[in-house]
Structure 1
């Protein structure tokens, strides 16, 4: 899979620009605030229909603009394709695949990308919601059914929580219909997460061994805080009983306490919990291994590597980790890298340098 060109219209600081890309490593360089990350962001919007930086569409529009456009031309399994997205300050997005209008959920999985940004280095130490989001988006890029079920589950969850608030302080709350549907979808989501995590664990341990010279093992555990003794719930019947049993607590807190929206991931080096006891170096190596395993996981599911987007992360990695990362991607994965310093890339072959400054791009090294 590779991206051939990107056209931006009134997107962030780009008024009207078209960029052609080579199939291997593209280094986007320039000063801070020059618009390097805006290019990665636009590609990611072409992947899932929304930004990884903001939930407000209007943030992506040029100042005083009422609309913006993104056109990504790419090849998937040697077949040319085009995603065209129009963003509006008011109103819904217009998403088209090969000139046919589609919904955002239909876009997921069309153009596969993996993004790695500085915030990801906090993935292990960060919130459970961030780790759930990582796993959900990885699976969604390879399974449209999973993404659809996840969206339905979240809508039902919001409805159930709204009922809990509406009936605050009352004993008889009409939740049977919601509980049955939630249990069914919760079972599907957790089963798919566990199935995917089994594959990811094989890959992440392999990647971590490569990065550490075989000195450390790495595994990801799945955790449900509403379960006892470390056991896992994944059946429809089990979820239904636990949701019912938690009703007194849910009624008091006015929120649903059982389900995959509460689950979490834990990272272990052998038996050591990296969040609690891992050094900063171990945690960063684990996150890097996770991103590399994400590339391999998507390849195993869809048949080819996704496009890799690296947003100013090389400066956050030490020299050996940078070298291992570049060695892994070189001549294998089309990779977009943002940086303020091109020194790490001057000795690499098949690198395309693109300078970004003031909403304009220029090919070549400075």
Structure 2
């Protein structure tokens, strides 16, 4: 899988850009705030239908324009996919694949796979539970688009239940309808929990091997799914039963607080290294290595599931890694397409065996590096 061509119109700081990418390594070098990350963001956008750094589509439109356009031509399984995304300050985002409009962002998921590494990945380890849930949910959705719709449905039900809890606090008669939302929450929420548990198990197996290799057998990593439902069985019926029981047990507290205190929206991933919770007790080096192991695990899992390697996006991460971790990351680039941003080329060894193309980026303009 690789991107053959990218075209921008009024996207971020690019008035117009057309670039034919190398099927292997593409390096974008330049000073900060020149537009390097914007190129990687566009690939992530074509893969997921959203930005990895902005929740507002309007922020991706050039400041003095009303609309923006991003197009990618992708070769996958010897087939070409053309994905076009139109952004507007006044209308909803429009997505087309091979000229056919897609009704929902979820219809784009699973069409193109990419894995993004960036300095902010440290939040996966030391950030809030929400960071880890979002990471897990996004990666599952990319491989299992149906899961994305589970999340949408669950969040709608959760919003309605929380609204009802607030009303019950002031008018107890509304309590009679709470069981309806409880049943729906349990039905969808249990599917989310079970899917996450199974997915995390697969990541865990890859992470163990990768982390041991990166740390030269000095560290062992293990990932645990921490559920507020606390079911010990990977059985959908058991999870539903425990979930329902916990909702009843927490009902008074939920009404007092006006919010649902248990469910997949409150779950977390625990990351242990040598049996120690590194979120609380790990060094920054250990936390960074754990984040690298997590992302590389996703990379390998995608290859296992779809038979192709995803496109690898490395946003200014080489300067954050020591030599050993740089070498491990570079070793993973041999048979795939990668897009790398950097401020210098110190990480690129002379006579490096991977074919590559280097671009100079300056003020939203690209030129071949010489």
State the distance in 2 between where 1:152 and 1:93 align. 21
Match 1:355 to one of 340, 357, 360 = 360
State the distance in 2 between where 1:249 and 1:78 align. 56
Runs of 4+ in 1 over 6 A off after TM superposition: 230-233
Q: TM-score, normalised on structure 1?
A: 0.95
State the distance in 2 between where 1:146 and 1:225 align. 20
Do the aligned residues in 1 keep the contact of 2:123 with 2:131 (CA within 8 Å)? no
State the distance in 2 between where 1:149 and 1:226 align. 18
State the distance in 1 between where 2:57 and 2:262 align. 32
State the distance in 1 between where 2:166 and 2:172 align. 12
Q: CA deviation at 1:152?
A: 1.0
Match 1:338 to one of 337, 341, 364 = 341
Note the alpha carbon deviations across 1:141-179, whole angstroms, 9 max, x for none.
Answer: 110111111111112111211222333333342222211
Do the aligned residues in 2 keep the contact of 1:296 with 1:305 (CA within 8 Å)? yes
Q: TM-score, normalised on structure 2?
A: 0.94
Matched, 1:282 2:283: no
Note the alpha carbon deviations across 1:100-151, whole angstroms, 9 max, x for none.
Answer: 1112010011110111111112321101000001111111111011111111
Q: CA deviation at 1:226?
A: 5.6
State the distance in 2 between where 1:277 and 1:162 align. 38
1:126 is aligned to: 127
Q: CA deviation at 1:60?
A: 0.6
SS in 1 for 2:143: coil
2:157 is aligned to: 156
2:220 is aligned to: 217
2:141 is aligned to: 140
Q: CA deviation at 1:346?
A: 4.6
SS in 2 for 1:249: helix
State the distance in 1 between where 2:58 and 2:9 align. 14
Q: CA deviation at 1:354?
A: 1.2
SS in 2 for 1:168: helix
Do the aligned residues in 1 keep the contact of 2:24 with 2:337 (CA within 8 Å)? yes
2:81 is aligned to: 81
State the distance in 2 between where 1:225 and 1:191 align. 13
Q: CA deviation at 1:233?
A: 8.8
SS in 1 for 2:28: strand
SS in 2 for 1:28: strand
Matched, 1:107 2:112: no
Note the alpha carbon deviations across 1:83-110, whole angstroms, 9 max, x for none.
Answer: 1000111121110011011120100111
The 3 A distance-change label for structure 1 pair 233 and 316 is farther
Give me the CA root mean square deviation.
Answer: 1.6
Note the alpha carbon deviations across 1:1-41, whole angstroms, 9 max, x for none.
Answer: 11111111101000111111011111111110000001111
Do the aligned residues in 2 keep the contact of 1:29 with 1:356 (CA within 8 Å)? yes
Matched, 1:243 2:247: yes
Do the aligned residues in 2 keep the contact of 1:227 with 1:233 (CA within 8 Å)? no
SS in 1 for 2:90: coil
1:310 is aligned to: 314
Mapping for residues 1-366 of structure 1, pairs under 5 Å: 1-102=1-102, 103-172=104-173, 173=175, 174-225=177-228, 227=230, 235-329=239-333, 331-347=334-350, 348=352, 349-365=354-370
- Bigger mean CA deviation after superposition, 297-306 or 341-350: 341-350
Note the alpha carbon deviations across 1:272-310, whole angstroms, 9 max, x for none.
Answer: 111122121111111111111110111111111111111
Structure 2 stretches lacking a partner, 5+ long:
none
State the distance in 2 between where 1:299 and 1:175 align. 44
SS in 2 for 1:65: coil
SS in 2 for 1:332: coil
